[in-house]
Structure 1
Amino acid sequence: MTTVPNDKTAIIRTERGLTIAGTRITLYQLMDYIHAGYPPNLIRHKFYITDRQFDAAMSYIDAHRDEVEAEYQIVLQQAEEIHQYWENRNRERFTQIATISLKPEQEAIRAKLNAWKAKIESRT
Protein backbone atom coordinates (compact mmCIF):
# COMPACT_ATOMS: atom_id res chain seq x y z
CA MET A 1 0.00 0.00 0.00
CA THR A 2 1.07 3.56 -0.63
CA THR A 3 1.70 5.72 2.39
CA VAL A 4 1.92 9.46 2.84
CA PRO A 5 4.78 11.05 4.77
CA ASN A 6 2.91 11.08 8.10
CA ASP A 7 2.55 7.26 7.86
CA LYS A 8 -1.22 7.31 7.42
CA THR A 9 -2.37 4.79 4.85
CA ALA A 10 -3.45 6.64 1.73
CA ILE A 11 -5.32 3.78 0.05
CA ILE A 12 -7.42 1.46 2.20
CA ARG A 13 -9.65 -1.50 1.49
CA THR A 14 -13.23 -1.02 2.67
CA GLU A 15 -16.46 -2.89 1.99
CA ARG A 16 -16.67 -0.75 -1.17
CA GLY A 17 -13.22 -1.85 -2.36
CA LEU A 18 -9.98 0.11 -2.70
CA THR A 19 -10.74 3.58 -1.38
CA ILE A 20 -8.85 6.83 -0.88
CA ALA A 21 -8.45 7.15 2.88
CA GLY A 22 -10.69 9.76 4.43
CA THR A 23 -13.11 9.72 1.50
CA ARG A 24 -15.78 7.51 -0.02
CA ILE A 25 -14.04 7.67 -3.38
CA THR A 26 -12.98 4.31 -4.76
CA LEU A 27 -10.15 3.77 -7.17
CA TYR A 28 -12.71 2.24 -9.51
CA GLN A 29 -14.46 5.61 -9.77
CA LEU A 30 -11.15 7.16 -10.79
CA MET A 31 -10.62 4.31 -13.27
CA ASP A 32 -13.85 5.26 -15.05
CA TYR A 33 -12.36 8.65 -15.85
CA ILE A 34 -8.89 7.32 -16.58
CA HIS A 35 -10.33 4.87 -19.13
CA ALA A 36 -12.41 7.67 -20.64
CA GLY A 37 -9.21 9.66 -21.23
CA TYR A 38 -9.86 12.55 -18.86
CA PRO A 39 -6.78 14.62 -17.95
CA PRO A 40 -5.49 14.03 -14.40
CA ASN A 41 -6.12 17.61 -13.28
CA LEU A 42 -9.78 17.38 -14.31
CA ILE A 43 -10.20 14.04 -12.50
CA ARG A 44 -8.74 15.49 -9.30
CA HIS A 45 -11.05 18.51 -9.45
CA LYS A 46 -14.07 16.33 -10.26
CA PHE A 47 -13.70 14.48 -6.97
CA TYR A 48 -12.56 17.45 -4.87
CA ILE A 49 -9.51 15.64 -3.54
CA THR A 50 -6.15 17.05 -2.61
CA ASP A 51 -3.04 16.74 -4.76
CA ARG A 52 -1.62 14.38 -2.14
CA GLN A 53 -4.69 12.13 -2.22
CA PHE A 54 -4.76 12.10 -6.01
CA ASP A 55 -1.04 11.42 -6.29
CA ALA A 56 -1.32 8.57 -3.78
CA ALA A 57 -4.23 7.05 -5.73
CA MET A 58 -2.43 7.33 -9.06
CA SER A 59 0.77 5.91 -7.57
CA TYR A 60 -1.17 2.97 -6.16
CA ILE A 61 -2.91 2.37 -9.48
CA ASP A 62 0.43 2.50 -11.33
CA ALA A 63 2.16 0.19 -8.82
CA HIS A 64 -0.70 -2.35 -8.75
CA ARG A 65 -2.09 -1.92 -12.27
CA ASP A 66 -3.00 -5.60 -12.83
CA GLU A 67 -4.74 -6.01 -9.46
CA VAL A 68 -6.68 -2.75 -9.74
CA GLU A 69 -7.65 -3.42 -13.35
CA ALA A 70 -8.90 -6.93 -12.47
CA GLU A 71 -11.00 -5.59 -9.61
CA TYR A 72 -12.26 -2.76 -11.83
CA GLN A 73 -13.46 -5.27 -14.42
CA ILE A 74 -15.32 -7.19 -11.70
CA VAL A 75 -16.96 -3.94 -10.54
CA LEU A 76 -18.02 -3.16 -14.12
CA GLN A 77 -19.46 -6.65 -14.54
CA GLN A 78 -21.41 -6.39 -11.27
CA ALA A 79 -22.73 -2.97 -12.26
CA GLU A 80 -23.93 -4.35 -15.59
CA GLU A 81 -25.65 -7.28 -13.86
CA ILE A 82 -27.41 -4.91 -11.47
CA HIS A 83 -28.41 -2.68 -14.39
CA GLN A 84 -29.88 -5.64 -16.28
CA TYR A 85 -31.75 -6.82 -13.19
CA TRP A 86 -33.46 -3.45 -12.77
CA GLU A 87 -34.13 -3.12 -16.50
CA ASN A 88 -35.98 -6.44 -16.43
CA ARG A 89 -37.78 -5.65 -13.21
CA ASN A 90 -38.87 -2.23 -14.48
CA ARG A 91 -39.99 -3.70 -17.80
CA GLU A 92 -42.29 -6.10 -15.91
CA ARG A 93 -43.60 -3.27 -13.71
CA PHE A 94 -44.28 -0.97 -16.67
CA THR A 95 -46.20 -3.78 -18.34
CA GLN A 96 -48.32 -4.15 -15.19
CA ILE A 97 -48.94 -0.41 -15.00
CA ALA A 98 -50.02 -0.30 -18.66
CA THR A 99 -52.81 -2.79 -17.95
CA ILE A 100 -54.31 -0.69 -15.14
CA SER A 101 -57.35 1.26 -16.27
CA LEU A 102 -57.49 4.95 -15.49
CA LYS A 103 -60.07 6.46 -13.17
CA PRO A 104 -62.27 9.21 -14.67
CA GLU A 105 -60.38 12.02 -12.93
CA GLN A 106 -57.09 10.53 -14.15
CA GLU A 107 -58.41 10.44 -17.71
CA ALA A 108 -59.10 14.19 -17.59
CA ILE A 109 -55.60 14.88 -16.29
CA ARG A 110 -54.11 12.56 -18.92
CA ALA A 111 -56.00 14.44 -21.66
CA LYS A 112 -54.64 17.78 -20.40
CA LEU A 113 -51.10 16.39 -20.28
CA ASN A 114 -51.38 15.01 -23.81
CA ALA A 115 -52.70 18.37 -25.07
CA TRP A 116 -49.84 20.18 -23.35
CA LYS A 117 -47.32 17.70 -24.80
CA ALA A 118 -48.75 18.16 -28.31
CA LYS A 119 -48.53 21.95 -27.93
CA ILE A 120 -44.88 21.75 -26.88
CA GLU A 121 -44.00 19.35 -29.69
CA SER A 122 -45.68 21.60 -32.27
CA ARG A 123 -43.30 24.44 -31.28
CA THR A 124 -40.23 22.44 -32.27
Structure 2
Amino acid sequence: MTPVSDKQATIICTDRGLTISGTRLTLYDVINFLKAEYSPKLIRNKFNLTDAQINAALSSIEANRAQIETEYQQVLQTRAEIRSYWENRNAIEPFDRIAMMPRKPGQEALWAKLEEQKARRVAQKQ
Protein backbone atom coordinates (compact mmCIF):
# COMPACT_ATOMS: atom_id res chain seq x y z
CA MET A 1 0.00 0.00 0.00
CA THR A 2 1.39 3.39 -0.98
CA PRO A 3 0.73 6.34 1.34
CA VAL A 4 -1.41 9.11 -0.07
CA SER A 5 -0.51 12.75 0.43
CA ASP A 6 -1.90 15.99 -0.94
CA LYS A 7 1.34 17.84 -0.20
CA GLN A 8 3.90 18.67 -2.86
CA ALA A 9 7.01 16.54 -2.33
CA THR A 10 10.12 18.67 -2.12
CA ILE A 11 13.71 18.41 -1.06
CA ILE A 12 14.64 20.75 1.79
CA CYS A 13 17.96 21.65 3.36
CA THR A 14 18.11 20.80 7.08
CA ASP A 15 20.92 20.47 9.59
CA ARG A 16 21.08 16.79 8.60
CA GLY A 17 21.54 17.64 4.92
CA LEU A 18 19.22 17.49 1.94
CA THR A 19 16.03 15.87 3.25
CA ILE A 20 12.77 14.71 1.71
CA SER A 21 10.13 17.08 3.11
CA GLY A 22 7.86 15.52 5.69
CA THR A 23 10.42 12.84 6.55
CA ARG A 24 13.73 12.42 8.32
CA LEU A 25 15.15 10.66 5.27
CA THR A 26 18.09 12.37 3.60
CA LEU A 27 19.11 12.05 -0.02
CA TYR A 28 22.30 10.42 1.27
CA ASP A 29 20.18 7.63 2.80
CA VAL A 30 18.50 7.13 -0.57
CA ILE A 31 21.91 7.06 -2.29
CA ASN A 32 23.07 4.37 0.17
CA PHE A 33 20.21 2.13 -0.93
CA LEU A 34 20.66 2.96 -4.62
CA LYS A 35 24.34 1.98 -4.35
CA ALA A 36 23.25 -1.25 -2.65
CA GLU A 37 21.18 -1.86 -5.82
CA TYR A 38 17.74 -1.41 -4.23
CA SER A 39 15.11 -0.43 -6.75
CA PRO A 40 13.29 2.90 -6.26
CA LYS A 41 10.12 0.92 -5.54
CA LEU A 42 11.83 -1.03 -2.72
CA ILE A 43 13.24 2.19 -1.26
CA ARG A 44 9.79 3.80 -1.43
CA ASN A 45 8.21 0.83 0.34
CA LYS A 46 10.99 0.50 2.92
CA PHE A 47 10.57 4.09 4.08
CA ASN A 48 6.83 4.36 3.46
CA LEU A 49 7.28 7.18 0.96
CA THR A 50 4.81 8.40 -1.61
CA ASP A 51 5.52 8.14 -5.32
CA ALA A 52 5.94 11.92 -5.37
CA GLN A 53 8.52 11.81 -2.54
CA ILE A 54 10.69 9.09 -4.10
CA ASN A 55 10.42 10.77 -7.51
CA ALA A 56 11.44 14.13 -6.02
CA ALA A 57 14.45 12.49 -4.35
CA LEU A 58 15.54 10.68 -7.51
CA SER A 59 15.03 13.79 -9.66
CA SER A 60 17.06 15.92 -7.27
CA ILE A 61 19.87 13.36 -7.14
CA GLU A 62 19.96 13.14 -10.93
CA ALA A 63 19.75 16.90 -11.53
CA ASN A 64 22.53 17.73 -9.04
CA ARG A 65 24.57 14.53 -9.24
CA ALA A 66 28.06 16.09 -8.96
CA GLN A 67 27.22 18.32 -5.99
CA ILE A 68 25.24 15.63 -4.15
CA GLU A 69 27.96 13.04 -4.76
CA THR A 70 30.54 15.43 -3.25
CA GLU A 71 28.31 16.00 -0.21
CA TYR A 72 27.65 12.25 0.03
CA GLN A 73 31.39 11.54 0.18
CA GLN A 74 31.73 14.15 2.95
CA VAL A 75 28.88 12.48 4.85
CA LEU A 76 30.61 9.10 4.52
CA GLN A 77 33.88 10.63 5.77
CA THR A 78 32.14 12.23 8.75
CA ARG A 79 30.39 8.96 9.59
CA ALA A 80 33.73 7.11 9.44
CA GLU A 81 35.34 9.68 11.75
CA ILE A 82 32.47 9.44 14.24
CA ARG A 83 32.58 5.63 14.15
CA SER A 84 36.36 5.67 14.69
CA TYR A 85 36.01 8.11 17.60
CA TRP A 86 33.48 5.91 19.39
CA GLU A 87 35.39 2.70 18.67
CA ASN A 88 38.52 4.26 20.19
CA ARG A 89 36.58 5.71 23.08
CA ASN A 90 34.91 2.40 23.83
CA ALA A 91 38.17 0.45 23.52
CA ILE A 92 38.86 1.24 27.17
CA GLU A 93 36.70 -0.89 29.40
CA PRO A 94 34.10 1.17 31.29
CA PHE A 95 35.43 0.12 34.71
CA ASP A 96 38.98 1.06 33.71
CA ARG A 97 37.72 4.46 32.52
CA ILE A 98 35.94 4.99 35.86
CA ALA A 99 39.06 3.95 37.77
CA MET A 100 41.09 6.55 35.86
CA MET A 101 38.72 9.37 36.81
CA PRO A 102 39.94 11.70 39.59
CA ARG A 103 38.34 11.16 42.97
CA LYS A 104 36.05 13.82 44.39
CA PRO A 105 37.55 15.89 47.22
CA GLY A 106 36.21 15.23 50.71
CA GLN A 107 35.77 11.49 50.16
CA GLU A 108 39.23 10.41 51.27
CA ALA A 109 37.92 8.53 54.34
CA LEU A 110 35.44 6.59 52.20
CA TRP A 111 38.14 5.62 49.71
CA ALA A 112 40.49 4.58 52.49
CA LYS A 113 37.78 2.30 53.92
CA LEU A 114 37.12 0.76 50.48
CA GLU A 115 40.84 0.17 49.88
CA GLU A 116 41.09 -1.48 53.32
CA GLN A 117 38.19 -3.83 52.55
CA LYS A 118 39.70 -4.64 49.16
CA ALA A 119 43.04 -5.50 50.78
CA ARG A 120 41.28 -7.79 53.30
CA ARG A 121 39.49 -9.66 50.50
CA VAL A 122 42.72 -10.14 48.60
CA ALA A 123 44.42 -11.43 51.77
CA GLN A 124 41.56 -13.86 52.44
CA LYS A 125 41.84 -15.37 48.95
CA GLN A 126 45.53 -16.12 49.41
TM-score with structure 1 setting the length: 0.68
* Structure 1 letter corresponding to 2:33: Y
Distance 1:9 1:67 in 2: 21
- Counterpart for residue 12 of structure 1: 12
Question: Given the alignment of the two structures, is residue 46 of structure 1 paired with residue 43 of structure 2, yes or no?
Answer: no
- The answer as to 2:50 corresponding to 1:36 is no
Q: Deviations over 1:6-56 (max 9, x none)?
A: 995600101110000111110001011011111111111111110000001
Residue type matched to 1:32 in 2?
A: N
Root mean square deviation of aligned Cα:
2.1
Q: Secondary structure at the match of 1:92?
A: coil
Higher helix share: 1
Superposition deviation, residue 96 in structure 1: 1.9
* Amino acid in the other structure paired with 1:61: I
Q: Structure 1 89/15 Cα, relative in aligned 2: closer, same or farther at 3 Å?
A: same
Give the Cα–Cα distance (whole angstroms) in 1 for the partners of residues 20 and 64 of structure 2: 15
* Partner Cα separation in structure 1 for residue 7 and residue 68 of structure 2: 22
Q: Is the 8 A contact 2:20 2:57 kept in 1?
A: yes
Is the Cα contact below 8 Å between 2:11 and 2:18 reproduced in 1? yes
1:1-124 pair list within 5 angstroms: 8=8, 10-93=10-93, 96=96
Identical amino acids, percent of aligned pairs: 49
Larger relative contact order (C-alpha < 8 A, sep ≥ 6)? 2
Q: CA shift at 1:93, angstroms?
A: 2.8
**Structure label with greater radius of gyration:** 2
Structure 1: 4+ residue segments shifted above 4 A? 6-9
Question: What CA distance in whole angstroms lies between the structure 1 residues aligned with 2:65 and 2:95?
Answer: 45
Judged with a 3 Å threshold, the aligned counterparts in structure 2 of structure 1 residues 85 and 36 are, in CA distance, closer, same or farther, namely same
Distance 1:95 1:87, change over 3 A: farther
